[in-house]
Amino acid sequence: MCPSNDIPANIGKIVANLQSLEFALRLILDELQGIHGAGKGTQIDFMKLTVGEWVPENYFTNYDTLNQLIQKVNSELHSHGLSERVDDSLVELRDALAHGRVLALNPDGPYRILKFSKTRDGNVQVTVSVDITPDWLSQQIKRTANELQKVVRLGQALSLKCFPSQ
């Protein structure tokens, strides 16, 4: 369980897990693209890139959303005969954190996250309304970490070099 005064830090853990998950999905897709295309995948030294430099579009540089990445990886898993899938319900959590409104009337909470739909006839619909409690945070941290571990395990099952076996 997360202490309530750690709510902002624990939201950060969820965001970090989601970003790591997205990167892991991009790793899988990039390496599989290299294998299917008989190439080596992306050959960019990301640590040496400078502002203004142009690089080719690839799975690391494109604007695929988390949902698109999950769908592409799940399709690859299916085509390789694996039955496990990446949980696409994490997209709702990611979108709530990225596009929702986290509100607290004082620094110690209580915290609430709200997300609204696009406008329709001058109105919006509430699509997410969640109290950010220590229990909720613990569940989301565990959920995102487990999914990241699953993706690494699936990358290993596909014998991808980007996920060497331990």
Nearest to 162 by CA among 27, 62, 48, 55: 27
48 assigned to some structural domain: yes
- What is the value of pTM for the model shown? 0.87
pLDDT at 42 over 80: no
pLDDT mean over 128-152: 96
106 assigned to some structural domain: no
Mean pLDDT of all residues belonging to the chain: 91
24 assigned to some structural domain: yes
96 assigned to some structural domain: no
42 assigned to some structural domain: yes
Task: Name the domain count of the chain.
Answer: 1
Instruction: Please write the tens of the pLDDT for every residue from 59-101.
Output: 999 999 999 999 999 999 999 999 999 999 999 999 999 999 9
- C-beta neighbour count of 60 within 10 angstroms: 16
13 assigned to some structural domain: yes
Most confidently modeled range among 1-15, 33-47, 83-97, 150-164: 83-97
Which domain, by its residues, includes 22? 4-85+134-157
- Which range among 28-32, 35-39, 117-121, 156-160 shows the weakest confidence by mean pLDDT? 35-39
pLDDT at 3 over 50: no
Residues 89 and 110: their CA atoms lie apart, in Å, by: 25
Partners of 132 in the β-ladder: 111
110 assigned to some structural domain: no
28 assigned to some structural domain: yes
Buried b (16+ CB within 10 A) or exposed e, 9-26: ebbebbeebbebbbebbb
pLDDT at 109 over 90: no
pLDDT at 47 over 80: yes
pLDDT mean over 5-29: 93
pLDDT at 5 over 70: no
2 — pLDDT class (breaks 50, 70, 90): low
Element (H, E) at 132: strand 126-132
